[in-house]
Structures are given as structure tokens and as C-alpha cells.
Amino acid sequence: MQKTYHWGILAPGKIAHKFASGLQFVPGAKIQAVGSRSLERAESFAATYDIPKSYGSYQELAEDPDLDVIYIATPHSFHMENTLICLNRGKAVLCEKPLAINSGQVEAMINASRQNQTFLMEALWSRFIPHIIKTKDLMDAGVIGQVSHLEVDFGFKARYDPDSRLFAPHLGGGALLDIGIYPLFFALHLFGAPDKIDAEAKLAATGVDESCRVKLTFSGNRTANLWFTLTEDTPVEAKLTGSAGQILLPNRWYQPVNITTTKDDKPEEIAFDFVGNGYNYQAVEVQKCLEAGKIESAVWSHHNSLALMQVMDEIRQQCGISYPSEKAGI
């Protein structure tokens, strides 16, 4: 019989709503509790999803003995602190992307997972969606020949608000950590660790990146051009080019979409029977790992999160972007 996993939701903001909707499609998942800095907000979220328990602090949520796993959805700069509270109380954690704001913080989180022998995974949801998995399988099978280049972008026009999560340095603002992480993850997933990183950013008045272009060079003469921005709507497509054709992931390529392979100028669409809203796939993986008693996923491992963050650290260094807490240490 399928075991029931009791989930807690830490911080009921925008993405927590999408995640809670996605969990409805995960067999064996039950949202048992929600924690907010305000009991009123927790209760309002609980009413929407029929959640039995509400807490007015993250600490109380972490201490709930009935929870198997906690999903963390605060702004980036709080991910480490919130994750450590949960791991140190023996609660498995699925933490929103980016796992933290820099690789020092990611290392501290991985260490806590190991010391507590408690599961930790970054909620890099795209990694688990079938069309992303299929694209790599097609590439590895040589369907478009020798692959040489990835062109990928992610941009939308955000309203400039220096105090918002997207632009405020103390909340880990900037295009890179919020949306650039998707093109970067995809390039690293397909091609491995880059040999060379060349990044250029345009900074907002708050000092975080509002736009960024990155060229990555990999072994075997493979390259990737990445563009991400908070200042304009871009195609939001990914195009993988090989000696025998192309694979196109169309608009909002990081969400569930059908993909097209083109060979000899003949396009062929590959359609998927997607389930839920896309956020469910990562939760299925979490439950599989918990069932198997693992402290990390082999699909999106601790090492994967750390390697991705190290590339983001290097990009920020090249572009002159740092966060207030880094000046004081971590």
C-alpha cells in the first residue's frame, strides 16, 4: 500500500500556491501543515487547500512531529536559515531554487543534511519534467548528430521596485538567481561543467543584475549562449543544435511543453501526456527518495546544486554583484 507523506509548507507566498496545487496530483502526498510569519496568512492558505494545521512561525512548523517533509518557499536569502531549522529537527527538506545565495551557504546546507542524515533537495522542478528528460535522452542517443550549441533565454518585464524580491539585494535580487538559474541549469545538465564562463550584466540601480548574457564553453567545442533579463519579454525558448538537426523547446521551455526535432528541414513534434501543473514531478521524486531512505536525489543531487551555484558565484563575481550578508561573512 502507498505510504502517505505528510508535507509542511513553509512561507505561503506565490510559488507555494502553485506547489500546493501541484501536490494534489502526487499519489500519497498530503499537506498536513503550513507555517507563515503571520498566523492569519497561514490560516488563509490552509483554508484554500484544506490543510489541518496552521502555525504563525516557521519554528513551530519545523517542530511539528507529524511532518515527514517541509517545502521551503521564502525569498532566496532565507533559504539557508529556514533549511537548517528544518534539517536540524530531522525534517526532510525540498527548498525552492536557488538553494541559497552562494556556494558557501549551499555547502553549509549539504553538511547539515549529512550530519542529520536528513533528505535535502533543491526544488529545481524543470529537471523532473518529462520533456527536459526527453531532450537529454534524444541528444545522448545522437538523434540530431554531434551536438555543438545551445541557445536559451528567459526574460520578462518586471515592474521595477527596489524593495521587491526581484530587485532588493538583501532578498538575493537579480535576474541570475531568480530566472538565469534555469538556462544555466539546462546548459550544465546537457553539457556538464563548463571550461570557460564569460558573463556580462547590466545592473539595476540597486546593484543587482537586471539583465545578463553568458557564454559558456564546454569540452568538445560545445558552447551555450544564455540570456536572461527582468527588463523585457523575450522568446523564452531553448534551441539545441547538432550536426544533423535541431531540438526546439518552445515558449516557456522550462515548463511542460511539447518539443520539436528538425532533421533535413522536416519538423516532428513530440507530445507528452503531462500530469498536473509541472510542480508535482519534483515532489514525486522527493517521496521516492524518502521511501528509499536517501538523503539526496540522484536525479538532482547535492553536487548538482553546488556545481550550479559555483557557476552563479563566478558569474556574479565577473559582473560585480554581491549581497549584503556576504560582506559580513556568508
Ligand X SMILES: NC(=O)c1ccc[n+]([C@@H]2O[C@H](COP(=O)([O-])OP(=O)(O)OC[C@H]3O[C@@H](n4cnc5c(N)ncnc54)[C@H](OP(=O)(O)O)[C@@H]3O)[C@@H](O)[C@H]2O)c1
Residue 177 CA from chain centroid, whole number? 9
Nearer to ligand X, 97 or 239 (CB): 97
Smallest gap from Cβ 1 to ligand X, in A, equals 31
The secondary structure of 89-116 as a DSSP string is TT-EEEEESSSSSSHHHHHHHHHHHHHH
Q: Give yes or no for residue 256 binding ligand X (CB under 6 A).
A: no
Q: What are phi and psi of 133, to 5 degrees?
A: -65, -45
Cell, residue 199: 558573463
Q: State which of residues 9, 22, 36, 116 lies at the interface with ligand X (CB under 6 A).
A: 36
Q: Give yes or no for residue 125 binding ligand X (CB under 6 A).
A: yes
Let me know: does 146 contact 243? Beta carbons within 8 Å: yes
Return the DSSP state at 128.
Answer: G
Nearer to ligand X, 101 or 147 (CB): 101
Q: State which of residues 8, 43, 51, 75 lies at the interface with ligand X (CB under 6 A).
A: 75
Cell, residue 174: 537579480
Q: Give the pairing of strands 222-229 and 209-218.
A: antiparallel
Give the per-residue contact string, 134-173, with ligand X (x = CB under 6 A; - = no). -------------------------------x--------
Instruction: Give the helix/strand (H/E) hosting 211.
Output: strand 209-218
Q: State which amino acid sits at residue 158.
A: A
Verify cis geometry, omega within 30 degrees of 0, for the bond prior to 98.
yes
Smallest gap from Cβ 297 to ligand X, in A, equals 16
Nearer to ligand X, 41 or 134 (CB): 41
Of 59-67, 71-79, 99-107, 153-161: span binding ligand X (CB under 6 A): 71-79
Q: Give yes or no for residue 76 binding ligand X (CB under 6 A).
A: yes
Q: Give yes or no for residue 44 binding ligand X (CB under 6 A).
A: no
Cell, residue 198: 564569460
Grid cell 521596485 in the structure block, residue: 161
Q: Give yes or no for residue 97 binding ligand X (CB under 6 A).
A: yes
Give the per-residue contact string, 174-213, with ligand X (x = CB under 6 A; - = no). ----x-----------------------------------
Give the binding site for ligand X (CB under 6 A). 11-15, 36-38, 41, 73-76, 78, 96-97, 123, 125, 165, 178
